[in-house]
Amino acid sequence: MMLQVSRLTKIFGGLRAVDDASLEVEQGSIVALIGPNGAGKTTMFACIAGFLPINGGGVQFLGRDITGWPVHRIARAGMVRTFQITQPFARLTVHENIAVGAYQSFPDRHQAWDHAAAVARQVGMEAMLEQPASDLTVAGRKRLELARALATSPRLLLLDEVMAGLNPSEILEIIAIIRSIRDSGVTVLLIEHVMHAVMSLSDQIHVLSYGRIIANGTPQQVVSDPAVIEAYLGRGAADQGATAVAEEPHA
Amino acid sequence: MNPADRSTGQDTGVQRADASAAAAADAHSPLKPIPWKLHLAVLAVAVAFPFVFPSNFMVNFGVLALFYAFIGQSWNISGGFAGQLSFGHVAFFGVGAYASTIVQMRLGWSPWLGLPVAALAGALIGGVIAVLSFRAGLKGSYFALITLAFAEVLRIVSNSISITGGGMGMLIPMKIGAANLQFAERIGFYFLILALAAGSIALAEWLRRSRFGAQLAAIRENEDSARALGINVFAEKVKVMLISGAIGGVGGSFFAQYFLYIDPLIAFGVDKSIEMLLVSMIGGAGTVYGPLVGAVLLALVSDVTRTLTQIQGLSLVLYGGLLVVIIAFLPNGLLDLFSRKRGARRKKP
């Protein structure tokens, strides 16, 4: 098992933002974490990656207990996250941005810069290498987040809504890129609201609602789960709309 | 296109680039190397300067310009490259000046040994300030204020203890001789500070090319992203303050040997902190040549005003006015002039 999150709890004041949530990510898979807005997905990501201290539970990565490790140490161990609200190094060029990531796995300048260029090609940014990151569109910034994280040669990528704000053709491109990343041997855990992307990419889905994992399984299992339908569409919807929702992915 | 093609294409492009393109790269592509030709040209001009203008006045001008370039680089490496803006860099300068003078006067060490001692002392105080303030999570203006406070505390301490000579300061006796770091001709000091300034520029250039420099740029731009990619932000910030402190310390030691006198106001005066950050910001913070460009301008302004008027401090007033103009029109410093021209040229075709 690549990542094992057990009974994770995160409390903000009186709010249990993440409540006793467990999930597992198997090596070589693409796993999605979905849930309504405010369910605690990004908080859970931040806890897993070490950005927030947790109030209970633990995180195991590659067989080691990484609970409480500082962010940079977790990243060096091979788990790297991207940010939902993109955080580019604004005054650096695209190539320089990706090179910062590449330097983490290649201390030598030439290797790092070549690796950064190769990663840029992998995510379709080779034409933008010399642009300052501040000039990028939303789609460009999302890609840059992905590229920079990928350049560190991670074992596990945590992608936080890399498709939000993209148009349908850009989403199709990102789906293909994520698949190619997985095929190159990197395991992926993603938060996503674009359901057709989640359905077509994921091997496993975990559903978070009010900080609790309410369902997990394959995409087919999860969309037909009454608890999930209720969480998304409200009480009662499960009975009326179960069949419609279950068929949506094929549409 | 394979990566090899791409990189050789870039290299020949850079080699063909003229000085203004190199300066533009200095200002706008913080992690691209500056071509060796430009470094050699600047060095050649600096070496030739005291032979072309051998008068005491001009050599003194050169010494001061290079001195400000050197201590400006101390600020630039932590403030410009790593984005840790300090208002109290004079702390390193003063600790270096006192450390080298104390080992010379009280222990009888050679002033040449005073230079590495000053570097160590400056690095030490840089490390202490860094560990204390970065552990406490101080950033931005809070960090600037705490550094200012440290410098002021050091000024008061140096004013009140006996080993520094207190408010009387320390007078280094004149004993001319190269072994004693006192040169009969100013040109000796000129080449000493030229070597130091060249070393600091080489260090800045190394930062552009190295992994460490890339990590500093990442920290300057966005600490959360830097951390997420595996950069130990705290450790890198402490490292850069050690380096910056060492340079500032050596600058203090040079200053004490050049003027043969040091007191708490000279060693820890706020004005020197301001000058250190001004020369970098006016030339271009985070660039290799920013401090040199700013320092030459500062030395020019101060010499011109001192020659033409008797008004104390007028040069800093003028320099401040210049700063306002530059911040209004060239927020990235004078080196930005070149990149703007180049940008305009690029848009035409």
* Residues of chain A neighbouring B224 (CB-CB closer than 8 A): 51, 83, 87
The 10 Å Cβ neighbour count of residue A169 is 9
Yes or no: say if B208 and B42 are a contact pair by the CB < 8 Å rule.
Answer: no
Of B6, B31, B225, the CB nearest to A99: B31
Supply the pLDDT for residue B345: 40
| Domain assignment present for B104 | yes
Return d(Cα B63, Cα B299) in angstroms, integer. Answer: 9
**Is B333 domain-assigned?**
yes
Out of B210, B222, B233, closest to residue A87 by CB: B222
| Structure confidence at residue B22 (pLDDT) | 67
Those residues whose C-beta lies under 8 Å from the C-beta of residue A218, and which sit 6 or more positions away, are: A203, A204, A205
Q: Which helix (H) or strand (E) holds B22?
A: helix B19-28
What pLDDT does B340 receive? 58
Whether A82 and A162 have beta carbons less than 8 Å apart is answered as: yes
In a domain, B25, yes or no: no
- B27 within domain boundaries: no
In a 10 Å sphere around its CB, with 0-12 CB exposed, 13-18 middle and 19+ buried, how is residue B246 labelled? buried
| A 92-151: CB under 8 A from B | 92-93, 96, 99-101, 103-104, 107, 109-110, 112-114, 117-118, 126, 132, 148-149
- Give the largest CA-CA distance in chain B: 69
Mean pLDDT of the residues in chain B? 88
Look at residue B338 in the predicted model and tell me its pLDDT. 75
Share of chain A above pLDDT 70, in %: 94
Helix (H) or strand (E) holding A247: helix A237-247
- pLDDT at residue B313 in the model: 73
Q: Which residues of A touch B7 (CB under 8 A)?
A: 110, 113-114, 117
Q: pTM above the 0.80 mark?
A: yes
Task: Note whether residue B17 is domain-resident.
Answer: no
Nearest CB neighbour to A75, from listed B6, B215, B230: B230
Judge whether B24 lies within some domain: no
- For residues A145 and A163, what is the distance between their CA atoms, to the nearest angstrom? 11
Q: Read off the CATH number of the domain in which B184 is found.
A: 1.10.3470
Distance CA A112, CA A107 (A): 7
Q: How confident is the model at residue B296 (pLDDT cuts 50, 70, 90)?
A: very high
Does B230 contact A80 at a Cβ distance shorter than 8 Å? yes
Helix axes B233-259, B90-105, angle to 10 degrees: 50
When pLDDT is cut at 50, 70 and 90, the band that residue A30 belongs to is very high
Given a contact cutoff of 8 angstroms between Cβ atoms, the answer to whether B306 and B60 are in contact is no
For residues B315 and B270, the answer to whether their CB atoms sit within 8 Å is no
Contact B211 A96 (CB under 8 A): no
Rounded CA-CA distance A86/A101 in Å is: 15
If pLDDT is split at 50, 70 and 90, which confidence band does A230 have?
confident
Amino acid occupying residue B120: L
Q: Which tokens hold the place of B163?
A: 């080993």
pLDDT digits (tens, 9 = 90+) for B174-213: 888 888 888 888 899 999 999 999 999 999 999 999 999 9
Q: What is the ipTM of this complex?
A: 0.89
Chain B, residues 205-244, CB within 8 A of chain A, namely 209-211, 214-215, 217-218, 221-222, 224-233
**Interface residue of A52, A73, A83, A92 to substitute, partner B, most B CBs within 10 Å:** A92
| Number of domains, chain B | 1
Averaged pLDDT, B75-85: 96
* Res. B344 pLDDT band, cuts 50 70 90: very low
Per-residue confidence band for B301, with pLDDT thresholds at 50, 70 and 90: confident
Residue B287 has pLDDT above 50, yes or no: yes
Residue B15 lies inside a defined structural domain of this protein: no
Check whether A228 has a pLDDT greater than 70.
Answer: yes
> Which residue among A83, A91, A103 places its CB closest to the CB of B214?
A103
SS3 B137: coil
Query: What is the average per-residue pLDDT within A25-40?
Result: 94
The separation between CA A185 and the C-alpha centre of its own chain, rounded to angstroms, equals 16
At B96 the pLDDT is 97
Which residues in chain A have their CB less than 8 angstroms from residue B29's CB? 93, 96
CB neighbour list of residue B28: distance below 8 Å, 6 or more residues apart: A132, B332, B336, B339
Find, in chain B, the residue whose alpha carbon is nearest to that of A49. B228
Nearby residues of A250 by Cβ (< 8 Å), 6 or more positions away: none
> Can you list the pairs that B99-108 forms with residues at least 24 positions away whose Cβ atoms lie under 8 Å?
B99/B249, B99/B252, B99/B253, B100/B252, B100/B253, B100/B256, B100/B257, B101/B170, B101/B172, B101/B253, B101/B256, B101/B262, B102/B163, B102/B164, B102/B170, B104/B172, B105/B170, B105/B172, B106/B163
* Cα B68 off chain centre by: 7
Closest CA to B241 of B41, B113, B91: B91
Chain A hits for B233, CB-CB cut-off 8 Å, are: 72
SS3 annotation, B69-133: HHHHHHHHHHHHHCCCCCCCCHHHHHHHHHHHHHHHHCCCCCHHHHHHHHHHHHHHHHHHHHHHH
Range with the lowest mean pLDDT among A51-60, A61-70, A164-173, B176-185?
Answer: B176-185
**Rounded distance between C-alpha atoms, residue B197 and residue B185, angstroms:** 19
Locate tokens 């995409």: which residue?
A219
Domain enclosing residue B69, as ranges: 3-9+33-347
Q: How confident is the model at residue B18 (pLDDT cuts 50, 70, 90)?
A: low
**B7–A96 CB contact, under 8 Å:** no
Of A89, A163, A170, which is closest to residue B223 (Cα–Cα)? A89
Per the CB < 8 Å rule, is B224 touching A87? yes
A interface mutation test: which of B205, B225, B232, B342 has the most A CBs within 10 A? B225
- Higher confidence at residue A234 or residue A149? A149
Q: With contacts defined as CB-CB under 8 Å, which chain B residues touch A114? A: 3, 7
Q: Would B217 be classed as within a structural domain?
A: yes
Give the end-to-end CA distance of chain B in Å, rounded to a whole number: 24
Report angle CA B234, B238, B241 to the nearest 5 degrees.
145
Residue B341 has pLDDT above 80, yes or no: no
- Closest Cα in chain A to B210: A109
B chain contacts of residue A81, beta-carbon cutoff 8 Å? 228
Encode pLDDT of A170-182 as tens digits. 999 999 999 999 9
pLDDT at residue number B11: 41
Q: What is the average per-residue pLDDT within A174-198?
A: 94
DSSP A126: G
Q: Are A99 and A112 in contact (CB under 8 A)?
A: yes
Cα–Cα distance, B71 to B254 (Å, whole number): 10
Q: Closest chain A residue to B227 measured between Cα atoms? A: A72
Coil vs helix vs strand at A16: strand
* Chain A neighbors of B217, CB-CB under 8 A: 89, 92, 96, 100
How crowded is the C-beta side of B160, counted as CA atoms within 13 Å?
6
Res. A237 pLDDT band, cuts 50 70 90: low
Is the pLDDT confidence value at B248 over 60?
Answer: yes
Of A73-87, B307-321, B328-342, the range with the highest mean pLDDT is A73-87
Contact B224 A83 (CB under 8 A): yes
CB of B6 less than 8 A from some CB of A: yes
